[in-house]
C-alpha cells in the first residue's frame, strides 16, 4: 500500500529539463493505492506520472499531488495464441520487449525511446515509425481500466464507452488514472530488421522518395539537417525497414532468431555547460553524420535497439543540452501543405537555433482521439537548446503550422499560446465536455492543463 504519511514536495520537470515545479510525489503499486491517494488529494489536484519522457509540463502538477505509477507494473495475463497481453499501466515498453520479443511478439507502436510506460503511451497516444501503416498505440488497445474522479473503475475501449476511451487516448491523463490495459502485440519471426538507407540531397528529393516508396515499408523515418541552407536545405538520411523473416538471417542467427537484450552502455554526466550545442558544433556534427551515411544501401540487418532506440544506449542523454534544458518541437501539416514545411525549414535554418536531432516522416490516417496528435501529412520533430530568441521562433512556426491546418504535439509542447492551441485542435471542446462529465470538479489536472485551459 502507498505510504499515507506526510511528504515533502519535490521539483519535477519533463525530459526537456525546463520549468521545474514542486509537487508531492506518491508512489503507488496498484489500484488500491491509487484509490487511497485520491481520497487524500490536495486542492491542487492530482496527476499520474510514469517514466517522465514527455518533454514538457504534461506530467507536472505544481503544488498538488503526482502519483508515481512505475511500481504498478505487473503482467496480468498473456494470450500467446491471440498475441495479446494485459498489463498494469506502470509497466514499460522496455520490459514488454524484454519479456515478449523472445516469444515472437513486439510492441505494436514504439516512439524513439522504449522507456515509456503503457499508461503514458495511452495518455500521449504515442506514434512511431510505422504510423503510416499501423496508426497510434491506442489503436492497438482492446480495452483499459480507468479510475475516474467518482472512485469508479470503468472498463472502456473502442466498443465500450468509446467517447471516454477516445478522450483518454491522447488526453494526457486528464480523464482519470489508467490502471491497466489489454494490448494487441505484433508478431515477428526475428529480432532483426531488414533496413534500406538512402541519402537525399534536399527536402524535395526526400519528400518525393517517401511519397513513392513509403507504402513498401512497415517502418520509415528520415534524419534531416535543419542547419543546412540554400540548395542543401532539408538534406536527409532516410531509413526504412521491416522485421526480417527467419530465413533471411545467417545460419548462426537462425539458431537464436529472437535473441534480444536492451541495455544502456553509457550514461551522460550532469556536467555539460550551456551553449555546448550551438550552430557551429551542430553544423559540424550534421556534416559528419550526413557524409558518413551511405548514399544507398539495401537489406542491411539491424537490431531493435539500433533501428528504433539509438539514444537509449546512453542514459540521461538529455543532460547533453546543459542546465537550461531543451525544447522538442513537433508539428504536423496536411498533405498538400509541402510549401509550409519548406517555409518552416527555411525559418529554422536561418534562425541560428541549432537542432541535431531532427526527424521527418509521413503520417497515415487519423483516429477518433479527441486530442490525438497524428493526422495525414508530414511531421517534423526537432530538439532545440533553450537560448535567447527561441520563443519568438516557435511562435512564428506555430502561426505557419496553424495557418496550414496543422498542429503541435501535446506531449512535447511547453509554450504554445492557448488561443493558438484552440485553433489547432478542432475537437478540443468535445474533449472538455467529456472531461466535465467524468471529472466535474477538475480533480485530475497538470501544469499543462492549467496552461492551456484544458
**Alpha helices (runs of H) in 174-303, residue ranges in sequence order:** 203-213, 251-254, 279-292
List the beta strands (DSSP E) in 228-283: 236-243, 266-267
pLDDT at 292 > cutoff 70: yes
Beta bridge partners of 117: 92
Please give the model's pTM, rounded to 2 decimal places. Answer: 0.96
Contact 320, 276 (CB under 8 A): yes
* Backbone dihedral region for residue 49 (phi beyond 0: left; psi -120 to 50: alpha; all else: beta): beta
Query: At 227, is the pLDDT very low, low, confident or very high (cuts 50, 70, 90)?
Result: confident
pLDDT at 162 > cutoff 90: yes
- CA-wise closest residue to 164 among 182, 186, 181, 144: 144
Please report, in angstroms and rounded to a whole number, the separation of the first and last CA atoms in the chain.
31
Which domains are present in the chain?
76-158+166-188 (3.30.465.10), 192-417 (3.30.70.2520)
Q: Is 25 helix (H, G, I), strand (E, B) or coil?
A: strand
Least reliable range by pLDDT among 112-126, 141-155, 311-325, 397-411: 311-325
Q: What is the pLDDT of residue 375?
A: 98
The predicted model gives 76-88 an average pLDDT of 98
- CA-wise closest residue to 416 among 427, 402, 405, 404: 402
Amino acid at each position: 500500500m502507498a505510504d499515507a504519511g506526510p511528504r515533502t514536495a519535490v521539483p519535477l520537470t519533463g525530459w526537456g529539463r525546463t520549468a521545474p515545479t514542486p509537487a508531492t510525489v506518491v508512489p503507488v503499486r496498484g489500484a488500491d493505492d491509487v484509490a487511497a491517494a485520491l481520497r487524500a488529494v490536495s486542492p491542487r489536484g492530482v496527476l499520474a506520472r510514469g517514466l517522465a519522457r514527455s518533454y514538457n509540463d504534461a506530467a507536472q502538477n505544481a503544488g498538488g499531488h503526482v502519483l508515481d505509477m512505475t511500481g504498478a507494473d505487473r503482467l496480468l495475463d498473456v494470450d500467446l495464441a491471440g498475441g495479446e497481453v494485459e498489463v498494469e499501466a506502470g509497466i514499460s515498453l522496455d520490459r514488454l520487449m524484454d519479456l515478449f520479443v523472445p516469444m515472437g511478439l513486439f510492441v505494436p507502436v514504439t516512439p524513439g525511446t522504449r522507456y515509456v510506460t503503457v499508461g503514458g503511451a495511452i495518455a500521449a497516444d504515442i506514434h512511431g515509425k510505422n504510423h503510416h501503416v499501423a496508426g497510434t498505440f491506442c489503436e492497438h488497445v482492446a480495452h483499459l481500466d480507468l479510475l475516474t474522479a467518482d472512485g469508479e473503475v470503468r472498463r472502456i475501449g473502442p466498443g465500450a464507452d468509446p467517447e471516454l476511451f477516445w478522450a483518454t487516448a491522447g488526453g494526457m491523463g486528464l480523464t482519470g488514472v489508467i490502471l491497466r490495459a489489454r494490448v494487441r502485440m505484433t508478431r515477428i519471426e526475428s529480432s532483426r530488421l531488414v533496413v534500406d538507407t538512402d541519402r537525399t540531397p534536399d527536402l524535395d528529393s526526400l519528400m518525393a522518395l517517401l511519397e513513392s516508396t513509403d507504402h513498401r515499408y512497415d517502418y520509415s523515418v528520415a534524419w534531416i539537417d535543419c542547419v543546412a541552407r540554400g540548395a542543401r536545405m532539408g538534406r536527409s538520411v532516410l531509413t526504412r525497414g521491416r522485421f526480417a523473416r527467419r530465413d533471411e538471417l545467417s545460419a548462426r542467427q537462425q539458431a537464436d532468431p529472437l535473441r534480444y537484450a536492451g541495455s544502456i552502455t553509457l550514461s551522460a554526466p550532469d556536467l555539460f555547460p550551456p551553449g555546448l550545442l550551438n550552430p557551429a558544433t551542430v553544423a559540424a556534427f550534421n556534416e559528419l553524420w550526413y557524409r558518413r551515411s551511405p548514399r544507398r544501401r539495401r537489406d542491411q540487418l539491424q537490431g531493435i535497439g539500433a533501428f528504433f532506440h539509438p539514444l537509449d544506449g546512453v542514459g540521461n542523454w538529455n543532460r547533453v543540452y546543459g542546465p537550461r534544458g531543451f525544447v522538442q518541437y513537433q508539428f504536423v501539416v496536411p498533405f498538400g501543405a509541402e510549401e509550409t514545411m519548406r517555409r518552416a525549414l527555411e525559418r529554422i535554418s536561418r534562425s541560428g537555433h541549432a537542432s541535431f536531432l531532427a526527424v521527418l516522416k509521413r503520417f497515415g490516417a487519423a483516429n477518433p482521439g479527441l486530442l490525438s496528435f497524428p493526422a495525414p501529412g508530414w511531421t517534423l520533430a526537432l530538439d532545440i537548446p533553450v537560448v535567447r530568441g527561441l520563443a519568438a521562433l516557435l511562435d512564428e512556426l506555430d502561426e505557419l503550422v496553424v495557418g496550414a491546418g496543422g498542429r503541435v504535439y501535446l506531449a512535447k509542447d511547453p509554450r504554445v499560446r492557448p488561443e493558438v492551441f484552440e485553433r489547432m485542435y478542432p475537437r478540443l471542446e468535445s474533449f472538455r465536455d467529456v472531461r466535465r462529465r467524468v471529472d466535474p470538479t477538475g480533480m485530475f489536472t497538470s501544469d499543462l492543463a492549467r496552461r492551456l485551459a484544458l
